[in-house]
Copies of this chain bind each other. A is one copy, B any other.
Amino acid sequence: MSSSALQLQHSNYNTFIEFENGFEYQGERLYSIIFERNKETIKVNKEKFAVRNLQKIFNATFSISPKIGFQAMSLRDLSAETGLSMGGLYSSIASKEAIAIMVKDVVAIVCDEIVENSMAKDDPVEALQTIVRGYLYSSTIMQSWFNFLYFETKSLPDLEQEASKNLELEQVTAMAKILRNLKPDSDLDMEFVATMAVSLIQERYVKPWKHHQPKTTVDQYAVDCLALIYKTIDYQID
């Protein structure tokens, strides 16, 4: 696939701005991807209309759901917030549950790409940078999506609930592997260190009410996270 070559040119980044420019899962592009992946269940045929509606639907979901929860959000709430009628909603989505499943799908794609990009690096220092910054920056841009999946996994069917949990396990496993490459002789529990690191990254999108500082400081947060990891595993930065 040419996609891995495409990703490669986007997988070197040291700042948020740099990352954001190469990040394709935002704006209309994102909703085109969702439309393309759900054509069979979406009754609207024309991308133009589907994208417009999907955008409204997800924006409304991410506006209502964090306050009262996805289950408590009725499709009438959604209708009011989007400005679409009940019929209008159901022309763009197969069911209420389908909204949650689509969120899970998108987050899964992004997470897989982060791990993939990181694993492609031979240098473990670069690999760690890539996974930490990639996860932190992606979840900053797509904060609503990551937050939704974190808190609404219960709203998914059993199969996608399992898939959702595996996303996080893969992050931890990948990071632990990198840490072992960085310090092959260490007898530290790198799974524990990776768990700590992932928790710290999740903090920002899980508890946005705690981190209400301006967006620019996500770069500082990345630096702090990396410094904490290096210190924990006694790695001297050159």
Q: Which of B71, B168, B207, B228 contacts A71 (CB 8 A)?
A: B71
B210→A203 contact, CB < 8 A: no
Stretch at the interface among A7-15, A62-70, A123-131: A62-70
Copies of this protein in the assembly total 2
Other-chain contact of A67, B154, B209, B228 (Cβ < 8 Å):
B154
A66 lies within 8 A of B200 (CB): no
Per-residue CB contact flags for chain A residues 117-156 toward chain B (1 = under 8 Å, else 0) read 0000000000000000000000000000000000110110
Residue of B nearest to A199 (CB): B199
CB of A49 within 8 Å of the partner chain: no
A231 at the interface (CB under 8 A from B): yes
Given A66-B154, A72-B155, A224-B189, answer yes or no on A196-B196 (Cβ-Cβ < 8 Å). Answer: yes
A126 to chain B, nearest CB (A): 24
Q: Does A195 sit within 8 A of B, measured CB to CB?
A: yes
* Least CB distance, A187 to chain B, in whole angstroms: 13
Q: Min CB distance, A211 to chain B, in Å? A: 9
* Complex CA distance for A231 and B186, rounded to whole angstroms: 15
Query: What B residues does A200 contact at CB under 8 A?
Result: 195-196, 199
B203 A199 Cβ-Cβ under 8 A:
yes
The CA-CA distance from A196 to B152 in the complex, in Å, is: 23
In the bound complex, what is the Cα–Cα distance between A228 and B155 (angstroms)?
A: 35
Among A67, A155, A165, A196, chain B packs the most CB atoms within 10 A around the CB of A196
Say yes or no for A192: interface residue by CB 8 A criterion.
Answer: yes
Interface residues of A (CB under 8 A from B): 66-69, 71-72, 151-152, 154-155, 165, 168-169, 172, 189, 192, 195-196, 199-200, 202-203, 207, 209-210, 224, 228, 231-232
Q: Can you give 5 contacting A-B residue pairs, CB < 8 Å? A: A71-B72, A151-B154, A168-B210, A195-B210, A196-B200
Going nearest first, the 8 A-B pairs with the smallest beta carbon separation are A71-B71, A69-B154, A199-B199, A71-B72, A196-B200, A69-B71, A199-B203, A68-B154
